[in-house]
Amino acid sequence: MQLPKLNSIQASRSMTDSFEGYNHNLRIKESESYDLKNMSCEEYPTLKTRKKRATILQAESPAGMLAKDALAYIDQKKLYYNFKEVQFQEDKGYFTLTDGEKQIVGMGALLLIFPDKVFYNTQSGEAGYLEAKYDSYEDASENAEVTFAFCNVEGEPYTVNNIGSEMPENPENGEYWLDTSQEKNTLKVWSETSSMWVPVSTVYVRIGCTGIGKKFKQYDGVKIDGCTAAGTTEFNNTAVIWARGDDFITIVGLLEAAVSQTDKITVSRTMPDFDFVTESGNRLWGCKYGQIDSGETVNEIYASKLGDPTNFNCFMGVSTDSYAASLGSDGAFTGAVSYGGYPVFFKENCIHKVYGNIPANFQIQNTNARGVQKGSEKSLCIVNEVLYYKSVSDVCAYDGGLPATISAQLGTVPYKNAVAGEVGGVLYLSMQGEDGNWTLFTYNTYSALWAKEDDTKALCFARLQNDLLYFDGENKLKSVSGKIPAIVTENGQLQTELEEDFDFLVESGYIGFSSPDNKQISRFNIRMILPKGSEAQLYLQYDNASKWEKQFQLTGNGLQSFTISVVPHRCDHMKYKLCGKGECKILSITRLYTEGSDVR
């Protein structure tokens, strides 16, 4: 009897020995993972569990953090530097910070805290307010006399005996005459050398009152209010203090005569209420969009005087002047950063970059491009000379030209409120999904691979030496590496608490879409390093079934290969999931399968 000849089914083998991280899209490569938990690509091409983290301290209400030579952070309205509380002290006693989120900016040895407008010098220990105000009623007395007199640039007063439209007769050398013959008065001085009255190029006024100059310094830009004496109302404006003493200040101006008053006068050195601030070129830069205290609506970028973050109204016509410019772009500012030696300001759909090194040549370049998403200003992070940030639609890499997306692997899930940090060339990005849940991702800038860690909500990041610290949603200060240098405080060493073993997960994408025929998996071979105390399980899912079928459980015993036989199951496509607890390093995954026809 002759039987029909059957064609043997050829077995195939597929091996993955290079793992290319997280890709949360429908069609992905076999080397990529549709979902990950607590995994890292730092040792690419292998896939390993992340490092254990360490808890350094438990805070109550952290409001900001910055790393300089040591860590600075704010908790319960107090500033801590190198884990020691900073005592803010002024003449009238101690003061504390206000409630709410803070922006901390480093400028040389200074820590600048906004919106409180407070500074702390990390070297000298000096602390105080960036703004200053003098009130003659409060700082002197209600009947304090305020005097206005002619003076030179050093503030030394002199007498003007000749006031009128007629030229004085027989003047002496150096004698002054206030010429009122023209519409605008002119102060002149008699010169014996030239035998003529010479106009004084710049005229100064000395304003005197008890304590008026104590809070200010030479060349401060101030706002003066309350000048009511005859011929002084024009001084109710912004001015530069050319000279000062405890009881006087000198400004540019012209008097009709030396006068005095007992009405209250105020002198204040103020700065704008910034939306965002950054330091660049030894200047403090800030931006503001919206209505200010005067009721005026502004859309402006500001820069402080060179080397002086307290002065934003010093306009002397020199290279060290303050700077301000209005913008024509619409919408609120969403972030600011110093990048490539220039200050860069962001709106959701616009990037403003300021070029130049002195106010005379400052130019603002406006680029209509994806900017920072509102609420994601903390996502601005420079990694290996490239600026990364979260835009409305994606995560962008910006090198000074146009932003480029790097987040196609994150899929179509919308994220917001991103916070970023960097260490070792790896970008850490904590973002909130539309369901309200948080996810911590990592992006390795060397291999351009994403990984997903866990549901950490990071309030802020700061890189200290070779470690990255952050406050989480439970107000705990943590280290991503779990290993930080011993930090000595008044109470001894901070005792870090190392994280216990955690769960991990590696879920593949759909396998089998490349062939229309049915196929069946007969064997898995997994080569991994699974230390003692760790464990892992393998699950399979066939044709979008709701159930994952457990195939094998592995117990850690170091470096070894695991050959896992599975029950043959014909399917169109499938997924596998490797999960467990403890440390794990996956070197390769090999699948042995056979293909059949397109009929089940």
Exposure of 47 in the CB half-sphere (CA atoms within 13 A): 32
pLDDT of residue 488: 47
Within 10 A of 201 (CB to CB), how many other CB atoms are there?
Answer: 6
pLDDT of residue 514: 60
Please write down the HEC assignment for all residues of 264-275: CCEEEECCCCCC
pLDDT of residue 561: 66
> What's the pTM value of the predicted model, to 2 decimals?
0.89
Q: Do 462 and 71 touch, CB atoms closer than 8 A?
A: yes
Q: Do 376 and 334 touch, CB atoms closer than 8 A?
A: yes
If you search the block for the tokens 């820069």, which residue do you land on?
A: 303
pLDDT of residue 126: 86
pLDDT of residue 581: 93
Residues of the chain below pLDDT 50: 91-93, 488
pLDDT of residue 523: 75
Q: What are phi and psi of 140, to 5 degrees?
A: -120, -95
Q: What are phi and psi of 379, to 5 degrees?
A: -85, -10
pLDDT of residue 576: 87
Q: How far apart are CA 127 and CA 109, in angstroms?
A: 12
Q: Do 547 and 599 touch, CB atoms closer than 8 A?
A: no
pLDDT of residue 16: 85
Residue 137 three-state SS: helix
